[in-house]
Amino acid sequence: MHFQLLNIFGIPWVAALTAVFVWWFLTGLLLFIVKKVDQINENAHHVITIILTPILLTGCLLYWNALFSISLASVYCSFFGSLLIWAWFELAFLTGLVTGPIKKPCPPNMPNKTRFIHAWQNIAYSELGLLAVLLTMTFISANAENRVGLWTFWILFCARICAKLNLFLGVPNVNSEFLPSPVKHLASYFKVGSTSWFFPLSISLISFTLFFWVDKIFSIKADDTLVIGYTLLASLTALALVEHWFMVVSVKDAELWKWMLPNVMDKKKPGKANKKRMSSEKIHGL
C-alpha cells in the first residue's frame, strides 16, 4: 500500500495537482487564521504566530533531511519543507510580528521616491528576514543533491518581490480588504491604476522561468525522479504567473477561499454578521 501511494505521487500530473492543492490550502489556512484572530482578539496576533513556530521548525527539518538524497519522498519533503518555512514567515508578516521599523499609513500627496522609502520601512524586517533565510538555504545547499526546496523558495521570494513592486507602482485590480488589522495600513501604499513598465517585465521573467522548468521536464528521462521535482517547480511558477495576471484581470480570486474563511462580523452591531464578505488581498507567492 505504501509503495502504491508513492507510485501515484510519481505521476507528473498528480505532482502538479498536489502543488496546486498545497498552495491553495496553505493560503486559505493562513487567511483563516489571521481573520479569525481579528475576530476573537486583535491583540493575539503575535501570540498565535509564536504558538505556530513548530510549522517553521518542521519545515526546516524536512528541508534539511531531504538535502542529500534524490528520491520521490525526498523531493516532496524538500518542496513541502520550503513551503512550510515560507508559510510561517508569511504568517509572521500578516500578524505584524515581523514587518518593519515603522507601522504607519502613507501620508497624502507624497512623491514616489519618498513613498517608496516609507513603504520599505513598513516591510523591511520581513523582506530582509526572507532574504537571510534564502541566502542561508542557498549556502547549505551548495553541495546538495536535492535542490528542489531551494528553487521553491527562490520562486516564492522572487514572485513576492515582483508582486509587491507591481502593487506599489500600479495595477488596475487591487483587493486590499482582506488585510488583517496589523498590516491594514499597507493598503495606503498600493496604487490602483494602469500598469507600469515593471508589469510586462515581471510577467516576462516569470514566463521565462516557467519555460525553463518545462524544458527541464522534457529534457530528461521520463522515469527520472527529478521530473517530479521540476513539475512541482513548474506548477508553482505557473501559479505565480496566474496571480500576477489577476492584478490586471478582474477575477474574484477570493472565491477560491471564501468557504474556508470565518464570517466577518460587524463590530458596531454585535451578533449580526456582515453581509459583505471580505475579498482576498493579493498575497502572492503562497
Angle CA(207)–CA(243)–CA(137) in degrees, nearest 5?
A: 70
Q: Considering only residues 107 and 208, tell me which one the structure prediction assigns the higher pLDDT.
A: 208
pLDDT grade for 35, boundaries at 50, 70 and 90? confident
pLDDT at 228: 95
pLDDT at 237: 98
Summarize pLDDT for 76-96 with one digit per residue, the tens.
Answer: 999 999 999 999 999 999 999
Pair 264, 113: CB distance under 8 Å: no
**Complete DSSP assignment for 63-75:** HHHTTT--SHHHH
To the nearest whole percent, how much of the chain has pLDDT over 70?
A: 85
Mean pLDDT of 234-246: 95
- pLDDT, the chain, mean: 87
**Backbone dihedral angles phi then psi of residue 137, each to the nearest 5 degrees:** -65, -40
Mean pLDDT of 251-267: 60
pLDDT grade for 68, boundaries at 50, 70 and 90? very high
Summarize pLDDT for 152-196 with one digit per residue, the tens.
Answer: 999 999 999 999 999 999 999 887 777 889 999 999 999 998 999
pLDDT grade for 267, boundaries at 50, 70 and 90? very low
- The domain limits of the chain are 2-260
Choose among 133, 137, 132: nearest CA to 150.
137
CA–CA separation, 237 vs 242, rounded Å? 9
CA–CA separation, 130 vs 121, rounded Å? 15
